[in-house]
Structure 1
Amino acid sequence: MTSDILDKISFDSHGLVPAIAQQHDTGEVLMMAWMNADAVLETLETGQVCYWSRSRQSLWRKGETSGHVQQLVDFRIDCDGDTLLLLVEQTGVACHTGRHNCFFTSIRDGKAEIISDVEISPEAMYGQKTPGP
């Protein structure tokens, strides 16, 4: 079963595939991150979403330090196998900036505008400066 699932995913030359996390009940797009084969397998085995951190070069278990976890509801592979859609139950905020989702900058009238407020400070979530993914 494991190889059957991984065979359906087209990982890039770095062994990664983009994964979009979407709140399962509202359809809100929360974030985009990367997964490698180990992250896919861990997510499917545990039901807790795990990504690959390109900056840390290690598995990134969502919510491991912040407590803001993503429980997997459904795991979907697109028609080309090159993008994943994770329907999740988000606990807390999804973005490391303390916002509910990562898509808080909108281009309006030719200018970038912040359209959502910070719900929890990164310092409160992590006890330090904002970490990157």
Structure 2
Amino acid sequence: MRGTWVLLAPLVLAGCVKDSASHYINGNEHTLSVRVAQDYFWKKTVGVTVVAARWPDCQRQFNFGELPQAEMELELFEAGDNVFSLRSGERMWQLETQNCTLLPTPAPEALGQPVGVFRMDDSGKYVFEKAAAPG
């Protein structure tokens, strides 16, 4: 019976999402990283965690809760010095990396300039894609 569970374990874990991607703002010492995790393949949601880091001053993790798998694409915007906004569907968050704090939810018109998007690529890897340069 024990051998059966060992053989079934990969099937239970297959299809689960557990990955991360980072946006390097100013080298390796100033970053925003998004981690997505789906605990079980039958869950239709993923847990989303964002880590803001600006070394040596701060590093902090923010739990954005559960998002539907279809909405795990997170758009990233820059709204000023060290202020970043993220949007997934109708949900929005804003944080600053001066002290690594979560700010009040921004108004849609105050998201800032597009920086890029965190998304699942065609090979099933979570990646950060920079926005196209304006013009």
TM (normalized to structure 2)?
0.28
Higher alpha-carbon Rg? 2
Higher relative contact order (Cα pairs below 8 Å, separated by 6+ residues): 1
Query: What is the TM-score when the length of structure 1 is the normalising length?
Result: 0.29
Structure with the larger strand share: 2
